[in-house]
Each structure stands twice: as C-alpha cells, then as structure tokens.
Chains A and B, each alone.
Chain A
Amino acid sequence: MGLVGNILYYSIHPAELRAIIQWKVWHNPVHERNEKDETETQKACFKFLDLTSRSFSAVIKELHPELLLPMSVFYLVLRGLDTIEDDTSISLETKEPLLRNFKDFLEQDGWTFDGNRPEEKDRELLVQFHNVITEFKNLKPAYQEIIKDITDKMGNGMADYVRKAELEDASVKTVDEYDLYCYYVAGLVGEGCTRLFVEAEFGNPALLKRPRLHKSMGLFLQKTNIIRDVREDNDDGRRFWPKAIWSKHVDDFDDLFKPENREAALNCNSEMVLNALEHVEDCLFYLAGLREQSVFNFCAIPQGMAIATLELCFRNPAMFERNIKITKGDACQLMTESTQNLRVLCDVFRRYIRKIHKKNTPKDPNFLKISIVCGKVEKFIETIFPSQNAEEANRRVEGTKTEAELERARQDAETRKDVFFMLALMGVIAVIVSIIMIATAWALGARFDLAWQELRGGNPSPKSVEHAEL
C-alpha cells in the first residue's frame, strides 16, 4: 500500500490510526535496556535478535533486566536449532547428531556452524554462534540448566521428526500427533519460559505444578499460526493440519484450496479453530499466575494477537487464497490492551470470542461445539472477574446497604444541607437589603401610603401623567 493508499485507508479507519498513534506516543517500556554498558557479545546477541525475530524481539528487549539476557539467549539457541532443522540441504546423517547434541555445543567455547546453505535466512546466526555461547556461559547456572534441558528435549524431538520424515511418513495424522508436534515446537518453549519466570520469582511456582497450562500457552500460539499459514505452508510443501480433521471435510488436502470446495474448507477451518479455542481457558488461567508487568506483557501480547488472528481466520475464505493478517491498527490496539492487566486482556478475549460466536453458523457441523466453547470462555472470564456477586444480590433483597453506600448517602445529605443553608442565608441577606432600601426610601420621603392606595385601587402602574404634575 503506497502513501495515497495509506491516507485513503486511514481516513476510512480513523480508529486504527488513533490506535497506532496511541501506541507509538504513549507506550513506555516497563524496563529500558541500558545500551551503553553492553559488551560486544551482548550487542551481537541483540543484533541477531532483531534479525531473526520479527515479533518477539521487541517484547524480549522490554523484559526485566534479570530476564533480558536469559530470554534472549534462550530464543537465539532455539532459533539456531530451528535453522539446522529447517535446512533441507543438510543430510540426515549430519543433521541428526547436530540436533541431538546441540545442548553440548552450548558448553563449547567458540563453537560455530557454517554448513547451512547460503539462502537459509538465519545462517549468519550460526556462523557467529560463539557470541551466544559466551553469553550463555555468563548466565546464572540455574538459567543455564533450564535452557540446556529444553534445548535437549527440543533437539531430540526435532531429530525424531526429521528421521521419521526421511524414512517413513511424518505427516500429521491424528489430533494427538498434531498436539505432540505443537508441543515440540511451542509447548516446550512455554515450559522453558515458565521455568525461567519462576526461577526469577516473577511467576507463581504453582505454574510449574500444572504443566497443562504452559503447554496450552505454546499450543494456542502455534495452532493459530498453523491455521493462518495454511496456504503459505501448502505452497511450500508443508502440511500441519491433522488428517483426522481435514479428511472429514475433503478427500484430498489440496481440495481445501479449490474454489468449488469453499464450504467444506470453511467447515474444516472452523473445526481447526475450535481445536485451538480449547486452550483459551488455560491461557487466561496461566496469565493470572504472572507477577511482573514486563513478564505479563511478554506473554500477553502474543496471546492477544493470537485470539485476534483466530477471529480473523474463522470462516474467512480469503485464508485459502492468500496469507492474511490483522491490520496494523488492530495490532497496535491489541498491544496497548495487552500491556495493562489481566482484566483488560480478558475484555479483549471476550470481545473476540463474541465476534467468533457471531460468525458461527448452524450450517457448520461443529456449530454447537463452537458455541459451547465460546460459552465456556465467557463463563470462565465471569468466574475470575464477576460482573455481579451474591453479596450485592443479598443486600438488594434485604434492602441493606454497604459502608460505601452509607457513606455516599451521608455525603449526599450533607451536601443537601449545605445547599439549604446557602439558600436561607441568601434569603436573609435579601430581606435585610430590602429593609435597608425601603427604610432609606422612606427617610427620603417616599410616599408609601399613596403607593399602597393606588395598589389597592387596582392600579399597579400609576400613569406617567402624574409625573407631569410634579
């Protein structure tokens, strides 16, 4: 969209322009990085963070100083792992040990890797990976331990997957396989982040006792991306939608993209959205366990974006034709709302859930299931932030009032008393002034007796003729 296009667009959507300006002008990071004191390797790490991640770099860099480097290193390590896995030019014999042993490279000073094909986007990160290793070793041992453990699990999960893809069929068949795939690429990240938060005392330790919650955080984001990117992924020869779901609607995965199957494709899409929505309650529950603002923002922004993206995709035929994404204005609005508190974020979720509910149609075989899951989310939000409570209702029935209400009633009574006093005072002043004026007039010879007679005679305004006689 060119400049003219932008001007036209925002003149029709002023609310979006307002949201963008608001975000740019009013958003202050909770914690600002101190760039002056950074070492060379730290600078290199932040440079790679900007280069490798579009969306995460900004939120990571606003994190509390305690977690700034651990989270950056964690992200870069996983990105490095991903770059090896994605590269189809590396043979299985080379790739498998690289993935499985990646956690050990973190301990080897100066380890780098230049075996990626030149067109691999993040090749440079691995070529200069020694920077990441230096920073990794500077972290507190507890953080190192967490990052290493997740790297180990993810590396092995990826190796298993690559192996399966090479030797047999790795396509996602059942919903369980779909969940497992998402767990390896995103659920594990959720686990790592949660352990870092709890270690830094920014998260409730109970979060670790309910692994389902942080798993859902990762799965919700990943599933949303998989739904949104279906066209792009399919064009690149990747398919993540589980066969158990799409085979109910079309015979062949490619049929989803044919215009004559639009209705079936939309029903398939809504079943995928339904599957993702099952995680929403867990995500909101998880967010309630975070104790530090920057950590909350870090987790809440992607979640807010995800529910909006899901709403955008839900029953949207454009999804099968091209890559769709939420508008910049909506994104800024969401970022503003996701960086406040859980209550505001819950309002965001409720808003988008209602939009999804509105688009739901009885033509869809999953109509009722979607309706139920929307109802569940609303009920859950009502549970954590009740709009009414039993005490109020009981008071209403009994006719009693709370302290606050009594206080307000007392204040109202006082105000009323003041007003009456002022009115009475003004009345008294008016009477005194009148008396003085009448007395003065009388002393100066005013004939009130004549005036009185005229009045009684039924002539309230004596003719000016009388003046002439004077």
Chain B
Amino acid sequence: MDGRSTCLKNVLISGGAGFVGAATARAVAEKYPQCDITIIDLHPTGPTHVVPDSASFIQVDITNADEVSKALQQARPDVVIHAAGIVPVLAERFGRRIENQVWRANVEGTRNMLEAAKGSGANAFVYTSTCCVVTDDMGRPYPNIDEHWPTSPQPLIYGESKAAAEAFVLQYSRDVMPTCALRASVLCGPGDYQLVPAIHVCIAKRETPFVIGTGSNLWDVTYVPNIADAHVLAAENLMSSKTAAGEAFFIQNNETITFRDFCLAVWVHFGHIPPFELHIAERLAYLAGLLSEASTWITGKTTTISRGSVQDTCAVRYANGEKARRILGYEARVGIEDGIRLSCEDLARRLGIELPCPSELKSE
C-alpha cells in the first residue's frame, strides 16, 4: 500500500448523482482536491446527494452503449468507478416484475461501462457490488462470511444481476486495466432513501413494539462515506500495487449489531422508545407475509410485510472484513454510532423536523 505516491488525477463515476456515487465523488474530492471528477448519471445531480462543485456532469443512460462510449471518450479518465445500477425498492425486491429492467441496467450497463472504459484507455475499474451477491439466497444464515463463499444460485433479481455483472467485471481484469469489486453491505447515511426512512416510518405506523423472530440476528451496515473511502482505496490500489486486481471485497462498518438494535437506535434519535415489546415467532410472521402477499395479488395493493421481508428481518448476515483490511487497508473511518446519528440528522433535515436532544430524552 502506498496511497501517498499514487495520485488520482482523473476519475469518472457512473451513478455519481446517486447515493453511493455522490458519496464517492465527495471522498475523491476531499482526498484529491486537484483531481478532475466526471459524473455520469441518468438523472441530473440534485440536493439530496450533494456532489462536489468541481465535478462535471454528463447525462448518460448506461444501457446505451453509444452514449457511454461518447462520455468516456470525452472525459478520458484514469479511473472508472462504476456505481450506477438499480436497487429495486422493497415492494419489488422479492418479485420478478422488473427483472428485465434490472438486468439491463445492472448487467448490460456494466458491460457497456467496461468496454467504454477499455476503449478510452482507463487504467483502473472499480465496481460497486453488494453483499447480496452471496446473501440473497434467502432463508440461510450467513455468519461471518468471507470472500470464499459462493455467489448464491437462487437469488433475487438484484443479487443475481449484480453477481452476473460482478463475475464479468472480475474476469475482465487485465494488466492494462485491472478491476475489482466492492461488496457493500446494507447502507445508511446522508441521502439514504430506503433504510433509515423505512425504519422511521414505523414510529408513525405504531409498529415499533413488534419484534419478528428472536431479535438477536446480527447483520452488517455501512455508513455510506465509509464505502466511499473504500472506493478511493481500491482505486489507489489498482493504480499502484494492483494487489486488488480481479478481487472482490466485503465492505462494511465491521461493527455487527442486531437489526432490532439498529432500529431501536434510530427510533431513539427521533425521541421514540417502544412502550413495550411483543415477539412474533418467525413462522407466524412468515404466514402473515404469505397472506399479505395473497391479498396483494387479489387487490393489487402492496404491503410492507411479505415472506421476503420477514426473512430479511430475521436473517443473520455479516461478513468478515479481514480481506479488505489486509489488501486495501480499509477501516471504517466513521463508527456506526456516529453514522446512525448523522443519518438520522440528515433524514430529519429532509423531513423538516427537529430531533429531540439527548438530555430531553433522559428526563422523559
């Protein structure tokens, strides 16, 4: 590792207007203020995901090979960070309704990016993958998994499309353009539109006292600036020692906690402590999920509870961060406690509400 002598000069980030991409753009700009940053994205940059002022923006649909190739020829980056992709929203996560769309963006898009990157003479390609490539095979526990674990054979559309794209990226690794993949765990942080908001909504829905399963299943979560740091480290590695070439890495905060505790910690920030706790056996909840899915099928209205979401809630999913530590020198810069606080503050700002200060909570 000699991050100091390596210098990122020209970086292109796909999906740079999104959650992970924008955070990565900020991390690059913070560490290399002189670096040229080009953001390509389907959607223009907005106030939710703040990008550095210095970054230039090109609107590109990554499923369109010509547009991608043109943008890369124009930017001529040393490093391509491919963070664009579709993460299906919860209601679509367990179904196959948008399968074609997800595969086109996640697999075709990645192929277009790789070929355009090679064509424009890039020297490194970092792919934002996900732990779902392994853990989307539902109903199995994944305690302390490492990179030797297989990608799952029967995953959900998200996991399988990302796994296919990841395999393609890693096979593409050559000396002229080494590649690597970063498997992010579940994310939280500024601009998060899935995790913390969904947990916050439970307060209004009065769902907080209900614990599905034992509530003792551990999982990983990553504060998004930490995964952004990992992208910078991976780019530096591929530009210098190349020890990460062709490799996948699990990236997370390395502070495993239970899903229940994560939720409780979020609620506390919004001044809410469940008045009581009611445990619902996993099987019962699974049955409720099944009935709820049936009602969705009949009425066409989607609900939060489904068999998949019950399994997600009860799953044991955490990875061993040793490989990323060893090869990339990755350590989470922001601990999960601060990460949750900052995520909640960001959400409160977006919702236009004020968080109670901790001392008020104490007197409650």
Write the residues of chain A forming the contact surface with B, with a CB cutoff of 8 angstroms: 354, 357-358, 360, 362-363, 365, 367-369, 371-372, 375-376, 378-379, 382-383, 386-388, 390-391, 393-394, 396-398
Do B145 and A371 have beta carbons less than 8 Å apart? no
Partner of B273, one of A357, A362, A394: A362
Does the CB pair B264–A367 fall under 8 Å? yes
Residues of B within 8 A of A371 (CB): 257-258, 261, 265
Query: Which listed residue (A354, A367, A388) contacts B141, Cβ 8 A?
Result: A388
Given A362-B273, A368-B257, A375-B218 contact (CB < 8 Å): yes
Q: Does B267 lie at the interface of the complex (its beta carbon under 8 Å from any beta carbon of A)? A: yes
Q: Are B337 and A379 closer than 8 Å at their CB atoms?
A: no
Q: Is the CB–CB distance between B264 and A372 below 8 Å? A: no
Assess whether B216 is interfacial by the CB under 8 Å rule.
Answer: yes
A368 to chain B, nearest CB (A): 5
Q: Determine whether the beta carbon of A394 is less than 8 Å from that of B148.
A: yes
Chain A: CB-nearest residue to B148 = A390
Contact A362 B268 (CB under 8 A): yes
Q: List 22 A-B contacts (CB under 8 A).
A: A357-B258, A358-B216, A362-B267, A367-B265, A368-B257, A368-B336, A368-B340, A371-B257, A372-B256, A372-B336, A372-B337, A375-B218, A375-B256, A378-B218, A379-B218, A379-B318, A383-B320, A386-B143, A388-B141, A390-B148, A397-B153, A398-B150
Assess whether A367 is in contact with B268, with CB atoms less than 8 Å apart. Answer: yes
Q: Give the docked Cα–Cα distance between A379 and B321 (Å).
A: 11
With both beta carbons as reference points, the residue of chain B lying nearest to A366 in the complex is identified as B337
Q: Does B312 contact A (CB under 8 A)?
A: no
The B interface, classified by DSSP as helix, strand, loop or mixed, is mixed
Give the residues in chain B near A394, CB-CB below 8 Å.
Answer: 148-150
Report B249-291 CB contacts with A as 1/0, cut-off 8 Å: 0000001111001001101100001000000000000000000
Residues of B within 8 A of A362 (CB): 264-265, 267-268, 273
Q: Which residues of chain B in 79-116 are interfacial with respect to chain A, using CB atoms and an 8 Å cutoff?
A: none
- The answer to whether A363 touches B218, judged by C-beta atoms less than 8 angstroms apart, is no
Given A362-B267, A379-B318, A390-B143 contact (CB < 8 Å): no
Q: How far is the CA of A390 from the CA of B261 in the complex (A)?
A: 28
A386 to B150, CA, bound (A): 17
8 A-B pairs besides A368-B261, A394-B148 with CB distance below 8 A are A365-B362, A368-B337, A368-B340, A372-B257, A379-B256, A383-B144, A383-B320, A397-B153
> Which of A354, A362, A369, A378 neighbours the largest number of chain B CB atoms within 10 Å of its CB?
A362
Q: Is B146's beta carbon under 8 Å from chain A?
A: yes
- In the assembled complex, the Cα of A259 lies from the Cα of B139 at a distance in Å of 47
B141 near A369 with CB under 8 A, answer no
User: A378: which B residues are within 8 A, CB to CB?
Assistant: 218, 256
Return the 3 tightest CB-CB contacts between A and B, nearest first: A390-B148, A375-B256, A371-B261
Q: Does B358 contact A (CB under 8 A)?
A: yes
| Structural contact, B273 and A393, CB atoms closer than 8 A | no
Known: A367-B265, A375-B218. A390 touches B256 (CB 8 A): no
For B153, B257, B358, the residue with the greatest tally of chain A CB atoms inside 10 Å of its CB is: B257
The answer to whether residues A390 and B149 also contact, given A367-B261, A376-B256, A382-B143 and a CB cut-off of 8 A, is yes
Q: How far is the CB of B20 from chain A (nearest CB, A)?
A: 23
A248 to chain B, nearest CB (A): 11
Contacts A368-B337, A379-B256, A386-B144: A393 and B265 contacting too (C-beta < 8 A)?
Answer: no
Instruction: State whether B264 touches A375 (Cβ < 8 A).
Output: no
The distance in angstroms between the C-alpha atoms of A132 and B152, with both chains bound, is 66
Q: Are B143 and A354 in contact (CB under 8 A)?
A: no
State the CA gap A371–B218 with chains docked (Å). Answer: 10
CB distance from B122 to the nearest CB of A (A): 32
A68 to chain B: closest CB distance in Å?
40
